[in-house]
Structure 1
Amino acid sequence: MPVQTYNNKVFYGLCVTVLLLRIEWGISTSMLPLYIHELGGSPLEVGLVFSVFAGISIFSNIFWGALSDHFGKRKVFIVFGMAAIFPIFLLMAFQQEKLNLILLRGSTALFKGAVVPTAWALVADLSPPEKVGTNLGILSSIETAGFALGPIMGGLVADVFGFPSLWLFVASICLVGATVFFVIGSDPPNIQNRSRQRFVEAFKLSQFSVIGVLCIASAISLLGYSLLGPNLNVYLFDDIGFSRTTIGVLSFIGMGVTTLLQPLIGSYSDKYGRKTFLILGAINLIFGNIMLFFSRNLLLVLVARILMSNFGFFRSVGSAYITDVVPQTEKSMALGFFNSVDSISRSIGAMVGGYVISMMGMPTLIMISPAFPAIGIAIVFFLLKESKIQNES
């Protein structure tokens, strides 16, 4: 599938930077919960790995997204965000206190908010209207590839060299990502800005009611995954008996399948509309949760991870939906808001999930989790209006 943007060089440079960010993210998300667990952390403390990070992301995504729209700049925020994460992981390499590790990891969200919504908005800026879904699908595929590579790389480094060396490795990844986009990246000339308005005006969304329905559906659906949160890997490690490397390989294969499918899903959503593929993402999560409940061997867990990873369709198609309905001067802010709602769901889900696991156990939580994406499907089907997509036909 050939890439079609107004500046392919910038697009490819952005993809490399985003890939490196998501490798870091995949390592942190999969390995830090195991590290906290091995340091004697409870399920609630393991859940805090997600909750603190996601809680800070709620505000940082919106703030940096609005700031990017206000000044009409993308590159400076992406480079700054990647570079600022570097020293945090250097500090983590010399820490063994559970709370300090959780807080340091959480603080990276202060700066990731400068990268994520801005990167998605930049792809929309670079894309012809009829290719927005396709190109956002490619970006989402790159992100998923990073998430897939992260756990297996993290598991191998942690098993061979230990966790302190792993955090030094992650720090170097972030520095390389900042350098790549500093050299290759640029802002497209067609970006408008709102610098003549007061900064507070950048936080206003003209299509808030439409975006709000999508965000509610996304947040509720995501609870089907976020309730399991970081305790899922602990469950696979303790209850099923998989090694750290095996857990990483499972994530790699599951997300690898999603990586291959997302550009195709994005392309189809450009042609046939967004709602069908939003629903498809939630259906995958339902069946993934059901499969996980009955999984006691490697093959069944692998199928469950593939299906659960395919919920990523919801995020990429949802982001394309947002770029369909908001003006250019609000894209980064709107995408930041979408990501912040995602963070709220992850934060609440991880805390509640940790409590439920402590009281009733992981199998009970897995059993009830499919109800949430089912509710999300109902919201999309009955309440969300189809966006108007400009296509080649």
Structure 2
Amino acid sequence: MPVSQKRKRANLKKLERKSQMRHRPNPEKWFYSFVPFKVSTGGAAPLIPLLTMELGGGPREVGLVNAVGSLSSMLGGLFWGKLSDRLNRRKVFLILGFLGTALSTFLFALAGSIPSVVFANAIYTFFIAATVPIPVLIITKVFRLEDWDYAIGRFNEIGGWAWVLGLVIGFILSHLLPIRWIFAVLGLIGLLSVPWGMRTIREVPLHLDRKVLGVYAGYVVEKFRYLPNFITHLPRFSTCGFERLYLSALLFWFGAMLYFTQFPVLLKARGFGASVLYLMSIGNSSISAYMYTRVGRRVKERGGYGTLRFGLLLRGLAFLLLAVATPIKGPLFPVLAFVSYFLAGYTWAFIGISTTAVISRLAPPEKKGTLIGAYNLVSSLGAIAGNLTSGFVVSMLGFAGNFALASVFLFLSLIPIARPKAKAR
């Protein structure tokens, strides 16, 4: 065949491929339907404890609101996962999660008592749980196997920065509107995800493969107020050599909730309002989103347990810093509080990604999903207990004692994983 004909045929094939790509639907287009949802939930997160305190609540009431939210989120994950599997539908539950979360945001705007805030938060977190496990399952069907890690990372990146945008919007609105009106605005923003999702999310009937949940270390659900809510089925409790990791997780989440539940209460007690909490939350969430991919590379180079120990140690020091800063008067206190909260966000990526990596790499393939589910069950129970306990600890030991105890539990969480099995390093 003459050279000119070969070139002509090659050019025709190139043009044909370009035409096919031009008409091929963008498989990640639906990721952006989560942006209004994440903006809404990110902006609302700091407001819930502030509304509780505005209605006369103290450390115990804030702990109760968070504990009920943790429990409702856990139960919601079980309910939505079972129901979506039974009906073999995914899109409808994402849309229902968007709609229910947005509408329940308005319940906060109408709340006039502590019990009504508890009720609103229970409904709110229950619907949020409908949106948590399904996206990664759709990704595994829509994208090719070799593109899964990229797609999962991209989804988390978009959601993470949308969360930060919600915090920025909340910060601006905190200077313009009362708390109740901010909830109303955020609820309207969240509603935008409903038509956006209906237009862009494809229905992909599939059976839930629980193994998928534990395989990809790059998949980190954007945290909802530091809540482990990735339980999709009631797991058969299995340890399979991960007893030490489970004990570490229980201690870690208990200590973490002592810290995060009472952090906004401390700021309020020291005379700081919504704008300061928003600024600190922006720093916390921004550094988390920035570190996800970088920590993923570190895990591949240095191993999961080493990365996890580093994250727990640094977070324990961050908690201790706040305990030391609490009695300090003057402008030094907010600076040290911001550094502590910033480091807490920085370490989340180390802890979240490395934990998934450890189980994914070391668990038997047929038990990955069961072990991930058991891990999240233990984490949720630790979070619920920490939320409920934090208010009583503040009443007995004060804020400094509460944050010191939180750091103690973080340091204790290092002990079970100090010497994991050689193959687990």
What is the aligned partner in structure 2 of residue 97 from structure 1? 113
2:389 & 2:120 partners in 1: Cα distance? 22
1:382 & 1:122 partners in 2: Cα distance? 38
SS of 1:76 mapped into structure 2: helix
What is the aligned partner in structure 1 of residue 224 from structure 2? none
**Count of residues in Structure 1 that have an aligned counterpart in Structure 2:** 372
Q: Which range moved further: 54-63 or 211-220?
A: 211-220
Task: Please give the per-residue CA displacement for 1:57-104, whole angstroms capped at 9, x wherever unaligned.
Answer: 222223333444566654333222112222222233223222112211
CA 1:74 to 1:193, structure 2 compared with 1: closer, same or farther past 3 Å?
A: same
SS of 2:259 mapped into structure 1: coil
CA 1:179 to 1:210, structure 2 compared with 1: closer, same or farther past 3 Å?
A: farther
2:377 & 2:197 partners in 1: Cα distance? 24
Q: 1:13 aligns with which of 19, 30, 34?
A: 30
User: Amino acid of the residue matched to residue 31 of structure 1?
Assistant: L
What is the aligned partner in structure 1 of residue 250 from structure 2? 219
1:182 & 1:302 partners in 2: Cα distance? 40
SS of 2:56 mapped into structure 1: coil
CA 1:60 to 1:340, structure 2 compared with 1: closer, same or farther past 3 Å?
A: farther
Q: Percent same amino acid among aligned pairs?
A: 19
CA 1:139 to 1:211, structure 2 compared with 1: closer, same or farther past 3 Å?
A: farther
1:27 & 1:168 partners in 2: Cα distance? 11
The alignment status of 1:237 with 2:268, answered yes or no, reads yes
1:326 & 1:176 partners in 2: Cα distance? 42
Uncovered stretches (5+) of structure 2, i.e. residues with no partner: 1-23, 210-231, 326-331
SS of 2:260 mapped into structure 1: coil
Instruction: Kindly report which structure 2 residues correspond to 1:208-357, keeping only aligned pairs within 5 A, or say none.
Output: 209=240, 214-239=245-270, 241-295=271-325, 296-313=332-349, 314-322=351-359, 325=363, 331=369, 338-357=375-394
What is the aligned partner in structure 1 of residue 99 from structure 2? 83
Task: Please give the per-residue CA displacement for 1:254-299, whole angstroms capped at 9, x wherever unaligned.
Answer: 2212211111112332454322222232123112112222334333
User: Amino acid of the residue matched to residue 362 of structure 1?
Assistant: F
What is the aligned partner in structure 1 of residue 169 from structure 2? 153
1:145 & 1:261 partners in 2: Cα distance? 12
The alignment status of 1:373 with 2:404, answered yes or no, reads no
User: Amino acid of the residue matched to residue 380 of structure 2?
Assistant: S
Are 1:23 and 1:147, in contact at CA under 8 Å, matched by a contact in 2? yes
Q: Which range moved further: 128-137 or 91-100?
A: 128-137
CA 1:300 to 1:141, structure 2 compared with 1: closer, same or farther past 3 Å?
A: farther
Uncovered stretches (5+) of structure 1, i.e. residues with no partner: 1-6, 195-200, 389-393
SS of 1:257 mapped into structure 2: helix
Are 2:109 and 2:184, in contact at CA under 8 Å, matched by a contact in 1? yes
What is the aligned partner in structure 2 of residue 58 from structure 1? 74
Are 1:137 and 1:263, in contact at CA under 8 Å, matched by a contact in 2? yes
2:353 & 2:83 partners in 1: Cα distance? 22
With normalisation by structure 2, the TM-score equals: 0.74
- Indicate the structure whose relative CO is greater, using CA pairs within 8 Å and at least 6 residues apart: 1
- What value does the CA root-mean-square deviation take over the aligned residues? 3.6
Are 1:17 and 1:177, in contact at CA under 8 Å, matched by a contact in 2? yes
SS of 2:45 mapped into structure 1: helix
Deviation at 1:355? 0.8
SS of 1:377 mapped into structure 2: coil
